Chains A and B, each alone.
Chain A
Amino acid sequence: MTLALRINGADREIASDPETPLIHVLRDELKLKGAKLGCGLEQCGACAVLVDGEVTLSCATPAAVFAGREITTIEALGDTPEGARVQEAFVAASAAQCGYCTPGLVVAVTALLQRDPAPSREAAMAALTPHLCRCGSHPRVLRAVEIAAGQGQGQQ
């Protein structure tokens, strides 16, 4: 039996073994390379996608688990006003260095703002704690959250 997944608004027939972790289906079969493999252990957040609007790590859970759910990857995030606003805010704050963690963070910030349009700094810090960044762009990412939430220019 083949697996069907709904990804970025389209129904996709999946040829991969349904036990394959979602990220490999996205990257290898569907060539959606935006989500990054950082650990395969759900410890770093680089692989985050939205599943029914919630931040979900895609590196360990079998693709079959996501049947019937709405999966949105970084590639389609800009199609929503919230996603586009978050992407603009990341550019405005130049909130990336190497950028490997960035797709996961953009996904996480979009989900945060959908849940809480005006998060406090503490709420943003808590929401992003599952996501690692090794370049130290964290202060800029937190500024991007402020910009995307319309809380001033995010300047300090």
Chain B
Amino acid sequence: MSLEKHPLVRDWIGVSGGRVVVHTGKVDFGQRISTALARIAAEEFALSPEDVDVAEVRTGAAPDEGMTSGSNSVVQSGNAVRLAAATARAAVLARLAAEFDVPTDDLELADGFITHRGSNRKTALTEALAGIDPALAVDPGARLRPREEVGVPVSHPPRGMRAMVEGRYTYLHDLDVEGMLHARPVHPPHIAARLRGIDAAVIEKLEAGGVRVIRDGSFLAVAAPGEWAAIQAAGRLARACDWDCGPGLPEIDVAAALRDNPVERLPVIGGLPEPDAALPPAPDAPDLEAAFTRPYQMHGALGPSAAMASWDGGKLTIHTHSQGIYPLRESICESLDLPLDAVELVHVPGSGCYGHNGADDAAFEAALVACAMPGTPVLLKWTREDEHAFEPYATAMHVHVAARLDGRGDVAAYYAEASGDTHRGRPRAGPDRAGPARLLANRLRADPLPPYRAEPNMNREGGNHRNLTPGYAFPETRLVKRLVRDLPLRTSAMRCLGAVANVFALESVMDEAAAKAGADPFGYRRRYLTDPRDLAVLDRLEARLREIPDPAEGAGRGIAMARYKNQMARVALSVDLAVNDRAEIILQHAIIVADSGRIVDPDGIAAQLEGGFVQGASWALYEAVTWDRDAITSRDWDSYPVIRFDNIPPVETVLVDQPDCPSLGVGEASPGPAVAAIANAVHAATGLRLRRMPFTPEAVMEAALQADAD
């Protein structure tokens, strides 16, 4: 897809300041894509990764690769960069061979030079690259340097690491330009509240003190010469507001609404929703039946969302940590009725985002403030409370599973129905002002837009049906997805989308079915697996577990596996844990085995797998958005607890390299299996089946009481 839109070598590979530069539309938010892309170019050019730069991602200059999401960056940008570099390499070798009048095979590319063996003639690679025909198209069949030539990838420190540990790495939050004002929005108590009025005396006093107050309907912000001044002013202004809170947020049981609300049931076949397919009959007296639920959860970036904007009367420049600068630009232009070429977006790293958080909303809010004060750059930041209360959450989900077993205890039929709200809250342009409607401030401005009404995601392995399809060859499956709308909270894409709840459900049922059949969880899964790479990750995990001691008395071990989107990286993982006297789950050890095709950056892969495990564990054990009629009540790290260092087990990663297979992203491969393996390990330790996230002490106690009652 990336190459179709940007077919030329110069779209991806350039030279600047005597160095090779990679151009990409994918942005780095800690997942190390820039490290991987530099390494890919370095492999094809026989350079050290340190000798390759990665260009800033800016509208107008960077290739438009849509969103940085879905673990697609190595596949899309990585493939484009590799083929572009390989095409460029072949082109410069051919040209120099002609120039030197020697066979191409007599030229050697090493250490940044192309040298003719047997003579002293040589040319710098960057010089040769600079002379490439600008119209040269990427050759999809270009010869890639095989593993034997490039060698086994070794770990280098990721880009920016030293600056990070020395406090010199520049985040968007750190930008500081001459004449800049700091801005803070003053958000309503909840998204449906409307501003009735503000105490004029307070505004007067603020303005007399050099604070600017910006109001557009119920969108409200302050700008002041310092960050602390802006924080204080926002507090004063908030206390001077009179809000009409209307009926407030619906206090409903979301899991029940997900289960019961009458919405279209879309059959899912081969990973695709097929509205016209006949639904197979509902399960009749299943041998196994259970419902698995996930609450609303938040991305919870450590650094609240921020953006810098400036408006000179004709051009709007926005520095943002959005995952999609081109789609965001379109939606901002549509919102402000500006032509595309009047707005430039520049990506600057923010804090890790894990999906669509407040980044885009903050960028638009910064733009609104900047447009109100031409010529003054504005750095707008959300507070912790803004981020917790106003980011678009991961939807709650409900997955109902039923299975019929045969005489051997094998799954004869598997039924799963996944229900959730939309994962598509990103501000992509579309009919009915779909882009602007998904920017928070447009819900608040004068003449506000109504909430975005999502359509079901019909893509293969999209949204709520991601990993709904089992990776196991069951004789019969009946899979259904349901998009449930009109629920209380705004939702969007978070790491893994529906795969977390779906893998949690499937792998829990596999564990239960294996136990019922008296089979071990490895052997039971093998009954349904034929793909050698699936089997390989499972085998490696089992082999590694044989080498380490069994869990201690009272502790338990669980496993789970998944192939992300049923077509990407494969992960099998194990968790050892114990449940203490206070019903807290204490993680003791984890092993992650992964196959993500050809390895480019082994340390980057391991970091993503480990990070995904830890975040999955945090979702499994701690996280749930809460609210009442008046407001979101999980507004800080006390009311929205997440995993901390006191529950981090040693984590081992084992990477299975496939040098002849395409490289795949791994950012979303481990969280789903992490949740499921924890649930299965809790069963091994206690005999309890936990099916409702998060597995808090209260949930453990409730499961114990339920087990006693049964």
Contact = CB atoms under 8 A, between A and B. Distances in A.
Contacts of B168: 34, 75
Interface string B220-236: 00000011100100000
B651 interface: yes
Given A21-B228, A138-B614, A99 B642 contact: no
B352 A28 contact: no
Main secondary structure of the interface of A (DSSP, over half): loop
B377 interface: no
Given A16-B228, A33-B174, A129-B644, A103 B302 contact: no
A156 B653 CA distance: 9
Contacts of A34: 166-168
B532 to A, nearest CB: 28
Interface in B634-662: 636-638, 642-646, 648-652
A41 B636 contact: yes
A29 to B, nearest CB: 8
Contact of B167 (A37, A103, A138): A103
B351 A98 contact: yes
B328 interface: no
A104 to B, nearest CB: 10
B384 A97 contact: no
Given A34-B167, A91-B162, A46 B302 contact: yes
Given A40-B384, A43-B638, A102-B165, A138 B645 contact: yes
Given A33-B167, A37-B173, A156-B652, A98 B29 contact: yes
B165 A106 contact: yes
Nearest to A36: B303
B157 interface: yes
B303 A136 contact: no
Interface string A65-93: 00000000111011000000001001100
A126 B614 CA distance: 17
A73 B352 CA distance: 23
A78 B163 CA distance: 12
Given A28-B227, A40-B231, A87-B166, A134 B301 contact: yes
Contacts of B161: 90-91, 94, 96, 99
Which of B157, B170, B638: most chain A CB closer than 10 A?
Answer: B157
Contacts of B615: 134-136
A136 B647 CA distance: 12
A35 B226 CA distance: 17
B324 interface: no
Given A24-B228, A106-B165, A156 B650 contact: yes
Nearest to B635: A41
A128 interface: yes
A73 B166 CA distance: 10
B173 A102 contact: no
B158 interface: yes
B300 interface: yes
Contacts of B383: 40
Nearest to B35: A94
A133 B617 CA distance: 13
Contacts of A156: 650-652
A36 B173 contact: yes
A132 B642 contact: yes
Given A139-B648, A142-B645, A94 B158 contact: yes
A18 B612 CA distance: 42
B642 A134 contact: yes
Given A38-B303, A46-B302, A96-B161, A140 B610 contact: yes
A134 B300 contact: yes
Contacts, number: 177
Contacts of B299: 134
Contacts of A137: 607, 610-611, 614
Nearest to A134: B302
Interface in B642-687: 642-646, 648-652
A98 B614 contact: no
A44 B302 contact: yes
Given A38-B302, A97-B31, A97-B607, A138 B165 contact: no
A35 B167 contact: yes
Nearest to B383: A40
Contacts of B644: 129, 131-132
Contacts of A35: 167
Interface string A101-136: 111001000000000000000001110110111111
Nearest to A102: B164
Interface string B327-354: 0000000000000000000000111101
B637 A98 contact: no
Contact of A139 (B618, B638, B642, B650): B650
B169 interface: yes
A100 B603 CA distance: 19
A39 interface: yes
A22 to B, nearest CB: 10
Contacts of B608: 97
A38 B384 contact: yes
Contacts of A140: 607, 610
A124 B302 CA distance: 21
A153 interface: no
B637 A74 contact: no
B155 interface: yes
A77 to B, nearest CB: 8
Contact of A135 (B30, B165, B169): B30
A46 B395 CA distance: 28
A58 to B, nearest CB: 12
Contacts of A17: 228
Contact of A28 (B155, B226, B384): B226
30 contacts: A24-B227, A27-B174, A28-B226, A33-B176, A34-B167, A34-B168, A37-B381, A74-B167, A87-B162, A90-B161, A91-B165, A95-B165, A96-B30, A98-B302, A99-B165, A102-B164, A126-B645, A129-B644, A131-B644, A131-B645, A132-B644, A134-B301, A134-B615, A135-B611, A135-B615, A138-B645, A140-B610, A142-B650, A156-B651, A156-B652
Given A16-B228, A28-B226, A40-B383, 12 more contacts: A16-B226, A38-B304, A40-B231, A40-B384, A97-B32, A98-B350, A98-B352, A100-B301, A100-B303, A129-B646, A132-B637, A134-B301
List the 4 closest pairs (A to B, CB-CB), nearest first. Answer: A34-B167, A136-B614, A98-B30, A136-B611
Interface of B: 29-32, 155, 157-158, 160-162, 164-171, 173-174, 176, 226-228, 231, 299-304, 349-352, 354, 381, 383-384, 603, 607-608, 610-615, 618, 636-638, 642-646, 648-652
